[in-house]
Chain A
Amino acid sequence: MTVIDAPQEPRATQAPTAGRGSRPEPPGWLAWLKRQKLASYVVLLVFTVLYIGPLLMLVTTAFKTLPEFFQNPTGMPESFRFENFTEAWNEAQFPRYLVNSVVYTTVATAVCVVTSVLVAFPIARGYLRGGRYVLLLYVIALFLPPALIPQFQLILNLGLFNTRLGYILLFLVNPIGIIILVNYIKAIPRELDESAAIDGCGYYRFVFKIIVPLIRPAIATVTVLHAIGLWNELVLAIIYLTNDDLYPVTRGLIAFEGLYGANWPPMAAAVLILMTPMVVLFLFLQRYIVSGLTAGAVKG
């Protein structure tokens, strides 16, 4: 297992296989050790198969006809036909599910992020008496019992069961987001507040015009983290939404599976349709997602 690259061997990044320039190959097990990078690649490739295999199966299935699929589930499709995609798109009401998901995600994330900034800023600055305890309340959230059942009773008794508003209400707070924002705001110099206050800038304007642009990376992280969790939510959608018109895509996908059962080709096409935008977005937003997940994780 190689830990870190030896700088004495700058060539090591090149071809992992034998024949490294003019250097004589050491004999036997030593040669193997020298070629440890090869071992690294072998391990990585094995896992790559495990990670790509299921995706590959999904793609090939999406292009097959049902008889073709039953005859030879693992082979390549005979031709690239898009009927499965149109079928999934039209039959399963995915346009509607997508609209629902977009509405839930944007509204709830927007409210969550704006309110979170307004909570995080005075706490981070110590402008609030007892602010430390407010923060503590957000930290211990991670160790509280699940809120599932009473939350349901609350929404039910508010008469918001099976409504858009009720569903959105479930996603308006994010304690981890508050903690990320507080930590980020703490790094911004207080002198900024002082000079702004001296210049007569109001609190509201200061937060939105000065602080928000400065903490954009943290806001992006919280936004992306919250939006992904919400977009992917399945269980709450099962619990709270029984009307097919209100389903987000995750719930719609499971409903589609219930209808189509073993008819995998259109199923696979549906999964692929819903997965592709996620993957593309992920490639662009990777940095924020990773920083959100590792926030505070390695500081000790």
Chain B
Amino acid sequence: MIHRSYLFARGWRSATPVLLLLPGFLLYLVMAVGPSLATAVYSFTDATGIRGIAVNWIGFENYEEFLFRGAASRDNIAALRRTVYFCFFVTVIQFGIGLLFAVLLNQKIRGKKFFRTLFFMPVILGVAIQGLIWKLFLLPRGGPASEFFQLFGWTSELLGGQPRQAFAWVIVVQIWANAGITMVIFLAGMQTIPEELYEAARIDGAGKWQLFRNVTWPLLTPAVNTNLLLNIIGSLQAWQLFLVLIGYRPGTQVLGYLVFAEGFGQTSGSVASAFRQGYAAAASIALFVLVLVFALVTHAWLSRREKRYIG
């Protein structure tokens, strides 16, 4: 077990590091890796969330039902499509806003610290507080957002309105809540760019746009990669703000919420509905495949792009 480079006491006492490592490692296997892999197994069963009820192997039944059977499968496909939309809008806008914040706050500017803190703060509040704050702000009648839109003669029920509108507002809150992470990752990346490069470019007569285009942007590649991947993976899996802001409403569900709702009996809003955990496991494998495909494609695209810059 122990490597020969081990420096401390030999003999029976060299078991110490292994013994001390085991609790953490076993916990990891039992609580994380094991269940993670078991998701695939459960997706072929009719498991319920009730203790003592026999679990039967039903093959591809869950997948078949999820993808091909009746009205429910059409809803599932719609949820899948919606997940991709959500991912697209959140990723693109959050990436843009995060980059904008970082660029603006990487200058010598007054109140820099204040702005950084303000934009980052929502990140630490958690979905319950984030969601409730915006639920209040988006109060349909007389709330600040609704009053603002009235100025333009636009009346809307906001979160309570058409599914599309409610969905769009969740995108807004999701970005509000997480743009701070994108910003700090970009800022950390910008801090690794040596000042001399800007000096040299400036001597060559580069303007501010050219400095950004030809110095900052290419050297920001690692942060760009991290942010893109984090945003894509994160937003494909995000659904908790839907729970707090609008609940399980037809026409707004995304895959992650579907897994939770089917698996833990929240589909009808009452606790009494069935826990279809085998089915939910199949749905979560579908989500996993989606995430994996997106992550791999993005990764491949990013490494091609990186090669272009490095040469």
Contact = CB atoms under 8 A, between A and B. Distances in A.
Interface string A62-94: 000000001011100000000000000000000
A275 B108 contact: no
A298 B25 contact: no
B126 A202 contact: no
Contacts of A74: 142-144, 147
B208 A2 contact: yes
A115 B23 contact: yes
Interface residues of A, number: 108
A250 interface: yes
A146 B259 contact: yes
Interface string A232-272: 11110011000000000111011001000000100110010
B292 interface: yes
B304 to A, nearest CB: 15
Interface string A21-58: 00000000000000011001101100110111111011
Contact of B125 (A122, A156, A278): A278
Given A118-B23, A119-B25, A298-B222, A4 B142 contact: no
Contacts of B77: none
How many interface residues does chain B have, given as a range?
Answer: 35 or more
Interface of A: 1-6, 12-13, 16, 36-37, 40-41, 43-44, 47-48, 50-55, 57-58, 61, 70, 72-74, 115-116, 118-119, 121-122, 125-129, 131, 134, 137-138, 141, 143-154, 156-157, 161, 169-170, 172-173, 175, 193-194, 197, 201-204, 206-207, 228, 231-235, 238-239, 249-251, 253-254, 257, 264, 267-268, 271, 274-275, 278-279, 282-283, 286, 289-290, 293-294, 297-300
Interface of B: 1-3, 5-9, 13, 16-18, 20-21, 23-25, 27-28, 30-42, 47, 49, 51, 97, 100-101, 103-111, 115, 117-129, 132-134, 136-137, 139, 141-144, 147, 176, 181, 184-185, 188-189, 192, 198, 202, 208-209, 211-212, 215-216, 221-223, 225-226, 237, 240, 243-244, 259-260, 263-264, 277, 280-281, 284-285, 287-288, 292, 295
Given A54-B144, A153-B42, A282-B121, 11 more contacts: A3-B212, A58-B133, A121-B17, A128-B21, A143-B292, A203-B8, A203-B16, A232-B125, A275-B125, A294-B184, A298-B222
